[in-house]
Amino acid sequence: MNIKTEWILCPVCGRKTHDKIREDTEMKNFPLYCPKYKQETLIDVKSFIVNICSYFSRGRARRCPASEPVKHPFRASGSSP
């Protein structure tokens, strides 16, 4: 059984975070921390699709405008961008 895993990228800056997910991972209101910007973002994940719930900057929560779910920009192993 070969399950695909990928790093979660920061939805703000696009850099790799310290968290990995599998293709069968489902998360609701997960606090994703970006080590570069020292900022936390609440996300929902299902089937590698990431929805941004809200983000925290300097201790204040801000709601993101309503938007459609966005396919997370993962790269498949061995493929070029």
Alpha-carbon dihedral sign for residues 33, 63, 15, 58 = negative
DSSP per position, 10-37:
PTTT--EEEEEEETT-EEEEEEEEETTT
What are the residue ranges spanned by the domains of the chain? 5-66
Ramachandran angles phi, psi of 64, nearest 5°:
-80, 150
pLDDT for position 39: 85
pLDDT for position 13: 85
Q: How confident is the model at residue 4 (pLDDT cuts 50, 70, 90)?
A: very high
Residues 6+ apart with CB under 8 A from 41: 10, 11, 12, 31, 32, 34, 52, 53, 54, 55, 56
Dist CA 12 CA 35 (whole Å): 12
pLDDT digits (tens, 9 = 90+) for 6-63: 999 988 888 999 999 998 999 999 999 988 888 888 999 998 888 888 766 555 555 5
pLDDT for position 55: 67
